[in-house]
Amino acid sequence: MYKEIESNKRNSIILMIIFIFVLISIGLGLDYLWGEGSYSIVWVAIIISLLMTSISYFKGDKIALASAGAKKITKEENTYVYRLVENLCITAGLPIPQIYTIEDPAINAFATGRDPKKSSIALTRGAIEKLENEELEGVIAHELSHIKNYDIRFMTMVAVLVGSIVLISDIFMRSQFLGSRSRKKEKGSLFLIIGLILAILSPIIAEIIKLAISRKREYLADASASLLTRYPQGLANALEKIEKENLKLIKSSKAIAPLFISSPFKNKSKKVPWFSTHPPIKNRIVKLKGML
């Protein structure tokens, strides 16, 4: 478990460093091709991305819960779920998050919030009713691990980088179509073609790196949950039920899909892994059982 946690933390940081390197390289390259020499594109893109992401960072949890149709519950309304969350929070040394339920038969859950003091966890009705005690505990531990590992904050940083790269590419593309002919001749057609190819491919590269980081954080949450419950089999069994059931959430959105413990859409075996928000469930189960 400790090896898995260290490995996934290390891989996340490596991917983040690569991400920052890609951003700087694209920014400097396109700024040179644009002919400004002041790196204005880079700074404008970063500032705009920070502003846009800040809004989602401070209000994103409310938006995510509303999008999923989640309803807040109290200790009196569901003592069983509340006690499970409370006991795991005491073990993890976390404040108890706000607890929500989603009236949906699919087995799923997600956590949101910018820090442990302002966090929420949402469980579907299917998860509460269909999972055994140890399995539900594993799912809750997974979501609490996202909170403890500050994954929401980490992915917010990733969102800033993705937004910056997309904006840099968009500014460059627009500048080429609206720019003067003299500037285009000055830089030469070959350099401009290279710049246009870079502008088209960079958002795709950014998205691939973002999704790779997201998958690593899922593996990290699985390992952290196993350390918290000391029973990896519980989460492994829950994932097996999710895979076997393969139900789509009634209220599912691509915007909040990465938050869930498993994709809220039906799993498609032919889906390209690079463009998936979650690692294959089978791989996660194998890793969990390897911790026993």
* Helix, strand or coil, per DSSP, at residue 128: helix
Say how many C-beta atoms besides its own lie within 10 A of residue 144's C-beta. 26
The one-character DSSP state at 111 is E
Instruction: Specify whether 186 is catalytic.
Output: no
Residue 78 · residue 101 · CB < 8 Å:
yes
Written as six digits, the tokens of 243 are 């895979």
- Answer whether 111's CB lies under 8 Å from 146's CB: yes
Question: Among residues 269, 11, 238, which one has the least CA distance to residue 135?
Answer: 238
What ranges make up the beta strands (E) of the chain?
70-72, 98-102, 109-115, 118-124
CB-side neighbour CA atoms (13 Å) of 217: 31
Rounded Cα distance between 10 and 32, Å, is 33
- Which of 36, 143, 186, 218 is labelled catalytic? 143
Region of 106 please: left (phi>0), alpha (psi -120 to 50) or beta: beta
Give the C-alpha separation, 238 to 240, whole Å: 5
What is the Cα–Cα distance from 51 to 48, expressed in whole angstroms? 5
The DSSP annotation for 188-224 comes to: -HHHHHHHHHHHHHHHHHHHHHHHHHHHHHHHHHHHH
How is residue 177 written in tokens? 């179509």
Residues assigned a catalytic role? 143
